[in-house]
Amino acid sequence: MKITAVGTVAFDAIETPFGKTDKILGGAATYIGLSASVLDVDVELVSVVGGDFPKKYIELLSGKNIGIEGIEVIPDGKTFFWSGKYHNDMNSRDTLVTELNVLEGFNPKLPINAQNSEILLLGNLHPGVQLSVIEQVKDAKLVVLDTMNFWMDQTWDLLLKTIKKTNVLSINDSEARQLSGEYSLVKAAKKIHEMGPKYVIIKKGEHGALLFGEGEVFVAPALPLEDVFDPTGAGDSFVGGFVAYLAKEKDLSFNAMRNAVIVGSALASFSVEKFGTERIQEITTSDLNKRLKEFKQLTTFDIKL
């Protein structure tokens, strides 16, 4: 199955207790593409950058067989820039700078090649843009939506309209609570089901992820790590790996999604090991397979009572 993924391709400047970067390659679609490419699947990115965006970054993506035809370049525009600083616990962060630049008024026109995908992944972006992409990918069998609290605060009605048209919603625990008004994540998932999505993924960072759907629940662990160098892009790497597994297996069942959540968690666990996209760029299929064995080892038990 082919994947179309919309999201930001951007510059990030990141500060964590381990160090600080200048403007480096970032953005949801970038992490999604790099993560999906580890599974060697057909993924088309839809995004927009400015004339300041280095050619080498575009070549880096296309060199990994990531479809870049849908990345619009606005020569006299500037690329989206985000800067953030993580606190010592790595679970909370302050946004220092957000320059929307070319993202302002982004109105994607998808190339034919990106319109006929079976899987549509809507990375974190303005829900209006996400909605426009849903309308252009008419034959999608699965629409996966990633969003964040910012859009709940700013564009509530439009976000709900977008959520209604999606099959899988992927958000973090505090966002699930905000969206549903429920503290219990089980109740939150139920309310979100009623908003449209048949499946709900709740990401809990170092505590793993929950997948709800078809009256079942699956709990995936996070890999216990000595250090998290940079959490930026972990959620995007997760969801990129999630859709890539489904696309590779051509299977959209709940049981396939169990495995897909583990693949996403494994790719997210790599992503945080170095700054920015550095680590996820390096990962091979063999690295991924080794880590999947670690996840198996991590969760294996065998009770006979």
Residues that bind a second copy (CB under 8 A): 88-89, 183-187, 204, 206-208, 210, 216-221, 224-228, 255, 258-259, 261-263, 285, 288-289, 292, 296-303, 305
Residues 242, 47: Cα–Cα separation, whole Å: 20
Residues 207, 116: Cα–Cα separation, whole Å: 36
| Least distance (Å) between residue 224 CB and a second copy | 5
Q: Which is nearer to a second copy, 70 or 213 (CB)?
A: 213
| Least distance (Å) between residue 244 CB and a second copy | 11
Closest by CA position to 233, among listed 28, 60, 87, 23: 28
Q: Which is nearer to a second copy, 23 or 85 (CB)?
A: 85
Q: Which is nearer to a second copy, 196 or 221 (CB)?
A: 221
Q: Which is nearer to a second copy, 111 or 221 (CB)?
A: 221
Q: Which amino acid is at 63?
A: G
| Least distance (Å) between residue 183 CB and a second copy | 6
Polymer length of the chain:
305
CB 162 within 8 A of CB 127: yes
Q: Which is nearer to a second copy, 89 or 104 (CB)?
A: 89
Residues 268, 75: Cα–Cα separation, whole Å: 33
Torsion (CA) 262, 263, 266, 270 in degrees, nearest 10: -160
| Least distance (Å) between residue 27 CB and a second copy | 27
